Amino acid sequence: MTNNNLKKYGYNVLKTPKNISNTIKKGIMKNISDKFPEKNFFTINDQAKFIKKLSDRRFKKAFGNNAKRILDFKTNNTINDWIKGKIKKQLKCKRISLNIISKYDLKNNDKLKKKQFNVFFRVVRNKKNDVGFPHRDSSFWKLGDLYAREAPFKYKKRWKFWIPIFGVNKKNCLRIIKKSHVDKIDLKYRKVNKNLKPTIPKAYLKEKYKNIIVPLKKFDGNEGILFHDDTVHFGPKNYSTGCRVSAEFNILTS
Ligand SMILES: [Fe+2]
């Protein structure tokens, strides 16, 4: 049995140690610096300012594909070790692990190591359409090959952990539809850039409008959101003045 809040609402806010959010931040900075070796970045703020000025074409080339936003082997091992403590306790499971990158990821990013863990980040530029629509992560896993990822053992459940890293505030933070993990939703599949994307009907979103919440109160990386893979969630368009950077990872348990 999992923690009560998780079971009832489909999510829980968890305190995250500063060294964990710092490790992730450093991993993201390394990923961005490697993409632009001609630049000498000192802070993530420098990087965010630079990204903001990139053309759409250069931005998509560097950050469009998810594989290009997967953090390095070492950073991800640290995160995998961390979830074996607090998160394992929260989920009351026997085994726990991050998922392993797919062959498709490896093909799209030669900096990745075979069979490494998968922690990735997102950059959402301000006033751009860098965000998706409300979805359940589980619908993507069901699509198979392109999205399905491996685990080091046969798992029973999937969870997601999301953490703000830079430029996140109440207005642009991840939204959750409370208790949506238990709803029966009639998903529609539509083709976007040759790939099928599961779509949640507008009528459902309209009906659940009042259940849309921003679970986090702190945006400094000292807390993150753990949620069920059937919980509906989305990142809103970013109307702040700068880029928003967040990290996330799937957690598999048995
Ligand atoms: Fe998601």
pLDDT at 147: 63
Measured in Å, residue 162 CA sits from the centre of ligand 1 at: 9
Measured in Å, residue 198 CA sits from the centre of ligand 1 at: 11
pLDDT at 193: 77
Measured in Å, residue 136 CA sits from the centre of ligand 1 at: 6
Residue among 183, 207, 187, 182 at smallest CA distance from 197: 187
Measured in Å, residue 39 CA sits from the centre of ligand 1 at: 31
Crossing angle of helices 44-53/18-35, nearest 10°?
40
Measured in Å, residue 42 CA sits from the centre of ligand 1 at: 30
Measured in Å, residue 16 CA sits from the centre of ligand 1 at: 20
Contact 252, 155 (CB under 8 A): yes
Measured in Å, residue 181 CA sits from the centre of ligand 1 at: 13
Residue among 59, 1, 5 at smallest CA distance from 231: 5
pLDDT at 196: 81
pLDDT at 148: 64
pTM for the full predicted model: 0.95
Compute CA distances 219 → 72, 169, 170, 224, whole Å.
Answer: 24, 6, 8, 9
The total of other beta-carbon atoms located within 10 Å of residue 242's CB is: 16
Measured in Å, residue 44 CA sits from the centre of ligand 1 at: 24
Q: Which residues pair with 121 in a beta bridge?
A: 247
Measured in Å, residue 249 CA sits from the centre of ligand 1 at: 10
Measured in Å, residue 88 CA sits from the centre of ligand 1 at: 21
Q: What is the pLDDT along the chain (254 residues), one digit of tens a residue?
A: 456 889 999 999 999 999 999 999 999 999 999 999 999 999 999 999 999 999 999 999 999 999 999 999 999 999 999 999 989 999 999 999 999 998 889 999 999 999 999 999 999 999 998 888 899 999 988 887 666 678 889 999 999 999 999 999 999 999 999 999 999 999 988 887 777 888 999 999 999 999 999 999 999 999 999 999 999 999 999 999 999 999 999 999 99
Measured in Å, residue 93 CA sits from the centre of ligand 1 at: 22
CB-count burial class (<10 Å; 0-12, 13-18, 19+) for 246 = buried
Measured in Å, residue 37 CA sits from the centre of ligand 1 at: 30
pLDDT at 27: 98
pLDDT at 140: 86
What is the fold, at CATH topology level, of the domain defined by 4-253?
Jelly Rolls (2.60.120)
Q: Locate tokens 């359409």: which residue?
A: 129
pLDDT at 1: 44
Measured in Å, residue 153 CA sits from the centre of ligand 1 at: 22
Measured in Å, residue 232 CA sits from the centre of ligand 1 at: 8
What's at 80, amino acid-wise?
N
Crossing angle of helices 73-83/18-35, nearest 10°?
160
Q: Residue ranges per domain, the chain?
A: 4-253
Compute CA distances 122 → 36, 166, 203, 239, whole Å.
Answer: 17, 10, 28, 16
Measured in Å, residue 135 CA sits from the centre of ligand 1 at: 6
